[in-house]
Structure 1
Amino acid sequence: MNVYKFIVLAFLFCIIYAKDEPRFLVYGTNVTVVVGRDAALTCKIENLQNYKVAWLRVDTQTILTIGPHVITKNHRVGVSHGDPQAWALILRDVRFSDRGYYMCQINTDPMITQTHHVQVFVPPDIVDSGSSGEVTVHEGDNVTLYCSASGTPQPTITWRREDSTEIRIEDQNVTKWSGVWLNITSVGRELNGAFLCIATNGVPPSVSKRILLHVLCAPSASMMQKMIGGYIGDTVLLRCRIEANPIPDVYWTHIDENKLTDHTKYQTSIISVSYKHTATLKINNISREDIGPYYCYAENSLGSTRDDVTLYTLVPTTVISSTNITEVIIEEPTTLITLHPYAELEMKEADPDIFSVEDNFVAILSRHQMQNLDLSPSS
């Protein structure tokens, strides 16, 4: 009988003793935090009694806290005990060096511990020193752009044009390209401009770097109209489209091939957007001396070119039919004007002192032809 009593008492003692021993209520946690923010690691303990809870940094074996007290001199470390069963280690303004394992420890005999892990994520950042800067290449050559980025997780790199136009890479036209390298073969002048290298890793914000690609090319010129007409005394604009890089020197000439300079008669201007330029010659108060061909010249260090436009005058009149006179022909619906060396004017509607039979760029139009004449710029 005494033996049975002893067994029962021993059993009850074990139950009571086991119940009073501290134990962890939850498992260790894996905490992910973005650099610069705060993180909390929590131990939940039952039956702590008079035992103490301590937090340690595993890799350095540094004691951070014991009970409610912070032991380390790191001012970013704190401890929270708002819940009677919870002991939380607080890491403020987390740095990348804070990543690693932390241990929650209870000073029982033997000691019991629980391990927690901190993963620190870092937003992407482009490494300027390891990435391409401004790049200059001749048209037709190959070019390689490189973009280096850091961050956790490792960022991915996406390339695109700043204006979102397509890029031809590996025999395909794409608006975006992934990879740290951007290889372009036989670069065309249309790629002159800015490329964006964009780094992302799921941690906002994404970042980008603007890389300028300068494609050097010899000038090409094209007049917006090959022939343009105007009335005596009017003002006309001659426009020349030019593609060139570097920016070209542009000038205009008339029949005598002398350069036209700015004054009350002529004004020149040029508007440049990237490698495209629009040169304009404004001719004021048109007279008979202004008719004829005009040449637009463009020159840079890689070459030179020119294109021409013919200015003719318009005279509203009635054409007199004669076997010796060839009238102006207007073909509909294209309103194509065929110019002839000269035409005789009806004196009642045109001043003989204005034009003579020696004028080679005079278009004589009837009132009906004037109404149907389309002088809008050609495309």
Structure 2
Amino acid sequence: MSVIIFLISMMLFRLSYAKDEPKFVGPDTNVTVVVGRDAILSCQVQNLQNYKVAWLRVDTQTVLTIGPHVITKNHRVGVTGADPQAWSLTIRDVRMSDGGHYMCQVNTEPMITQTHHLHVAVPPDIVSGSNGEVMVREGDAVSLHCAATGIPYPTITWRREDSTQFKINGQNVMKWSGVWLNLTAVPRDLDGAFLCIATNGVPPSVSKRILLHVLCKPSALVSHKMIGGYLGEPVVLQCNIEANPTPVIYWTHHDGNKLQNGTKYQAVMSSQRYKHVSLLRISNVSRDDIGPYFCNVENSMGNARDDVTLYTLVTTTVKTTTTTARTETTLAEIDTTSVTSVQPYADMVEDPNHYGVDTDNFVVVLSQHQMQNLDISPSS
């Protein structure tokens, strides 16, 4: 009987002793911190009693802290234990080299340990790729490249700066993923900026701007093939142009000579990417100004031209007669009254051998309203 009582007493003692032994509260942890920020690894111990908690760097077997004391000479390492059950290892201004496993250890016999892993995240950084400006001929292929680093490894996304679609692999897309953007049969309307955007879930994302120049032959298109202008008034001719590189633009009249800016002619140009608009202002229009004008465009890729014909609008005077009867005599007095109307020189006949215009061949066309205003009555 005494043996049984002894065994029972030993079991109860061991249970009581085991109940009072230190033990960890909570599982191992994985902590992710962005490089440059502070990391905190927490270790909670129940029933610590007079035992000590130590932190070690696993890969180097370096003792960092014992109890409230910092052992390592690394000034960025600290420890807090305000709560007897919570012992936190602090690493300030985390660096890439700080990533790895850290062990929380209690000096029991045998010792107990808990391992925590520190992940150091790095925002993306674009390290290489295409130059800021890339040139390609219209219809050719071009490849844009963009490479980035970061932890986790970044994803590269391409899109146009103006957020419009572009064609790749025969499909119209708003964006494309990959370190390479391969464009085939490049059209001129693809001229413009592309953005290479690197993201990995760690802010901030970064981007690089690559300006794609699509070199193309010039094209010219006037807004209207026929333009009318009043004698003595100014008129403006417009030519819409597509060309890259930026072209040389000049205007000529039917004699082929370049028109120079001055009091008579003023030419201005505005550009947006490969699209350009040239305006020619002709002051004080006269009959010498009628005829074709040519918008001429030249760049290293070729040349083009289009023409617009200027005709004049003038006022014409039509004679009408008004008959006034007098009671005193049998004579009729005829008064002449002038009716003024605006008429266009509507038709032009050109000499096929040159661009000169014979103004005598212009035909004045009267409207129905103008015909009704003509009062041609017989004399009495």
Structure 1's 14 and 361: CA in aligned 2 closer, same or farther, altered over 3 A? farther
Q: Give the aligned residue type for 2:269.
A: I
**In the TM superposition, what is the alpha-carbon distance from 1:283 to its structure 2 partner?**
0.6
Gaps of 5+ in 1: 321-335, 343-356, 371-379
Q: Secondary structure at the match of 1:264?
A: coil
Give the strand-richer structure, 1 or 2: 2
**After the TM superposition, which of the residue ranges 33-42 and 216-225 deviates more from structure 2?**
33-42
**In the TM superposition, what is the alpha-carbon distance from 1:45 to its structure 2 partner?**
0.8
Q: Give the aligned residue type for 1:166.
A: Q
Q: Please tell me whether the aligned partners of residues 158 and 176 of structure 2 are also in contact (alpha carbons under 8 angstroms).
A: yes
**In the TM superposition, what is the alpha-carbon distance from 1:75 to its structure 2 partner?**
2.3
Q: Please tell me whether the aligned partners of residues 315 and 363 of structure 1 are also in contact (alpha carbons under 8 angstroms).
A: no
Alignment of 1:49-68 (within 5 A): 49-68=49-68
Superposed structure 1 runs of 4+ greater than 6 Å apart: 367-370
Q: What is the TM-score with the length of structure 2 in the denominator?
A: 0.83
Q: Any idea what the Cα deviations from partners look like across 1:282-328, whole Å, max 9, x if unmatched?
A: 111111111111111111112111111111101244789xxxxxxxx
**In the TM superposition, what is the alpha-carbon distance from 1:74 to its structure 2 partner?**
2.0
Q: What is the TM-score with the length of structure 1 in the denominator?
A: 0.84
* Residue 203 (structure 1) aligns with: 202
Distance 1:123 1:368 in 2: 78
Distance 1:174 1:338 in 2: 50
Distance 1:142 1:199 in 2: 24
**After the TM superposition, which of the residue ranges 284-293 and 198-207 deviates more from structure 2?**
198-207
Q: Any idea what the Cα deviations from partners look like across 1:157-184, whole Å, max 9, x if unmatched?
A: 1111111222111111112112111111
**In the TM superposition, what is the alpha-carbon distance from 1:338 to its structure 2 partner?**
5.5
Distance 1:168 1:361 in 2: 54
Q: Give the aligned residue type for 2:67.
A: G
**In the TM superposition, what is the alpha-carbon distance from 1:14 to its structure 2 partner?**
1.4
Structure 1's 23 and 288: CA in aligned 2 closer, same or farther, altered over 3 A? same
**In the TM superposition, what is the alpha-carbon distance from 1:25 to its structure 2 partner?**
1.8
* Residue 192 (structure 2) aligns with: 193
Distance 1:368 1:204 in 2: 75
Alignment of 1:27-106 (within 5 A): 27-106=27-106
Distance 1:6 1:40 in 2: 48
Distance 1:216 1:315 in 2: 45
Gaps of 5+ in 2: 320-343, 351-356, 371-380
Aligned residues: 340
Distance 1:188 1:310 in 2: 32
1:339 lines up with 2:347 in the alignment: yes
Q: Please tell me whether the aligned partners of residues 131 and 148 of structure 1 are also in contact (alpha carbons under 8 angstroms).
A: no
**In the TM superposition, what is the alpha-carbon distance from 1:93 to its structure 2 partner?**
2.3
Q: Secondary structure at the match of 1:147?
A: strand
Distance 2:252 2:52 in 1: 96
The structure with more radius of gyration: 2
Structure 1's 199 and 123: CA in aligned 2 closer, same or farther, altered over 3 A? same
Q: Any idea what the Cα deviations from partners look like across 1:229-277, whole Å, max 9, x if unmatched?
A: 0101111111111111111111111121111111111111111111111
Q: Secondary structure at the match of 2:364?
A: strand
What's the RMSD between the two structures over aligned residues?
A: 2.4
Of all paired residues, the percent bearing the same amino acid is 66
Q: Secondary structure at the match of 1:18?
A: helix
* Residue 311 (structure 1) aligns with: 310
1:145 lines up with 2:144 in the alignment: yes
Alignment of 1:229-244 (within 5 A): 229-244=228-243
Distance 2:220 2:214 in 1: 17
* Residue 249 (structure 1) aligns with: 248
